[in-house]
Chain A
Amino acid sequence: MKRFGKLVWALLRELADENAYQRHLEAHGREHSGEEWRRFSEERLRAKYARAKCC
Chain B
Amino acid sequence: MKILRGTKILGHLFWAAVAAAAAFCLGGIALNRGEHINSIWLVVAAACTYAIGYRFYARFISARVMTLNDQRATPAERLRNGHDFEPTNKWIVFGHHFAAIAGPGPLVGPVLAAQFGYLPGTLWIIIGAVLGGAVQDFVILFASMRRDGKSLGQMAREEIGKIGGFTALLTVLLITIILLAVVALVVVNALRGSPWGTFTIAATMPIALFMGIYLRYWRPGKVLECSAIGFVLVMASIFAGRSVAESAALAPIFTLSALGLAIAIILYGFLASVLPVWLLLAPRDYLSTFVKLGVVLMLAVGILFVRPELQLPAFTRFVDGTGPIFAGKVFPFCFITIACGAISGFHSLISSGTTPKMIARESHAWPVGYGSMLLESFVAIMAMIASCVLQPGVYFAVNSPAGVVGTTPAAAVAVISSWGFPVSVADMSNLARDVGEQTLFYRTGGAPSLALGMARIFARGGGGQAVIGFWYHFAIMFEALFILTIIAAGTRVGRFMLQELLGHVSQPLGRTSWMPGMMATSACIVAGWGYFLIQGVRDPLGGINSLWPIFGIANQLLAAIALCVATTILLKMHGAKYMWITCVPLAWLVIVTFTAAWQKIFSPIPAIGFLTQADRLESAVRAGAAANTAATQTLIFNARLDAAMCGLLLVLVATILLDSVRVWIGILRGTSEAPVREAPFVLSRLQTEEL
B493 touches A49 (CB 8 A): yes
B82 touches A14 (CB 8 A): no
**A16 on the interface (CB 8 Å rule)?**
yes
A53 touches B493 (CB 8 A): yes
CB-CB under 8 A from B426, the residues of chain A are none
A10, A15, A23, A54 interface centre (most CB from chain B within 10 Å): A54
A37 touches B346 (CB 8 A): no
**B239 on the interface (CB 8 Å rule)?**
no
Q: Contact check: which of A24, A46, A55 meets B179 at CB < 8 Å?
A: A55
CB-CB under 8 A from A36, the residues of chain B are 220
Count B-side interface residues using an 8 Å CB cutoff: 56
Q: Contact check: which of A20, A42, A45 meets B86 at CB < 8 Å?
A: A20
Q: Contact check: which of B101, B220, B293, B489 meets A37 at CB < 8 Å?
A: B220
**A52 on the interface (CB 8 Å rule)?**
yes
Provide the bound-state CA to CA distance between A5 and B204, in Å: 29
**B683 on the interface (CB 8 Å rule)?**
no
Contacts A53-B486, A53-B493, A54-B347: A16 and B223 contacting too (C-beta < 8 A)? yes
B82, B88, B99 interface centre (most CB from chain A within 10 Å): B82
B92 touches A14 (CB 8 A): yes
CB-CB under 8 A from A26, the residues of chain B are 82
SS class of chain A's interface: helix, strand, loop or mixed? helix
B183 touches A55 (CB 8 A): yes
**B590 on the interface (CB 8 Å rule)?**
no
Provide the bound-state CA to CA distance between A35 and B224, in Å: 19
Interface mask (B77-109 → A, CB under 8 Å = 1, otherwise 0): 000011110101101100110011111110000
Interface mask (B341-369 → A, CB under 8 Å = 1, otherwise 0): 00010110110011000000000000000
Provide the bound-state CA to CA distance between A48 and B83, in Å: 11
**B286 on the interface (CB 8 Å rule)?**
yes
Contacts A14-B95, A47-B84, A49-B281: A54 and B227 contacting too (C-beta < 8 A)? no
B102 touches A24 (CB 8 A): no
**B268 on the interface (CB 8 Å rule)?**
no
CB-CB under 8 A from B293, the residues of chain A are 15
Interface mask (A1-27 → B, CB under 8 Å = 1, otherwise 0): 000000100111111111011011011
A55 touches B224 (CB 8 A): no
CB-CB under 8 A from A23, the residues of chain B are 82-83, 86
B84 touches A54 (CB 8 A): no
A49 touches B277 (CB 8 A): yes
A44 touches B83 (CB 8 A): yes
B84, B92, B353 interface centre (most CB from chain A within 10 Å): B92
CB-CB under 8 A from B347, the residues of chain A are 54
Minimum distance in angstroms from A11 CB to a CB of chain B: 4
CB-CB under 8 A from A43, the residues of chain B are 83
A10, A32, A38, A55 interface centre (most CB from chain B within 10 Å): A55
Provide the bound-state CA to CA distance between A18 and B293, in Å: 18
Interface residues of B in 191-228 (CB under 8 A from A): 215-217, 220-221, 223-224, 227
A54 touches B101 (CB 8 A): yes
B81 touches A27 (CB 8 A): yes
CB-CB under 8 A from B179, the residues of chain A are 55
Provide the bound-state CA to CA distance between A12 and B228, in Å: 12
Q: Contact check: which of B105, B176, B281 meets A52 at CB < 8 Å?
A: B176
Provide the bound-state CA to CA distance between A48 and B100, in Å: 11
**B455 on the interface (CB 8 Å rule)?**
no
CB-CB under 8 A from B217, the residues of chain A are 34
Contacts A12-B224, A34-B220: A54 and B103 contacting too (C-beta < 8 A)? yes
CB-CB under 8 A from A34, the residues of chain B are 216-217, 220
Interface residues of B in 276-292 (CB under 8 A from A): 277-278, 281-282, 286, 289-290
**B492 on the interface (CB 8 Å rule)?**
yes
Minimum distance in angstroms from B499 CB to a CB of chain A: 10
Nearest-neighbor residue (CB-CB) of A20 within chain B: B83
CB-CB under 8 A from B227, the residues of chain A are 16
CB-CB under 8 A from A54, the residues of chain B are 100-103, 105, 340, 344, 346-347, 349-350
**21 A-B interface contacts by CB (under 8 A):** A11-B91, A12-B290, A14-B88, A15-B96, A17-B223, A17-B286, A20-B83, A20-B86, A37-B220, A41-B216, A42-B278, A43-B83, A49-B489, A50-B492, A51-B493, A52-B490, A54-B349, A55-B104, A55-B340, A55-B486, A55-B555
Name the 8 nearest CB pairs between A and B, nearest first: A27-B82, A37-B220, A16-B223, A11-B95, A55-B105, A34-B220, A53-B489, A23-B82
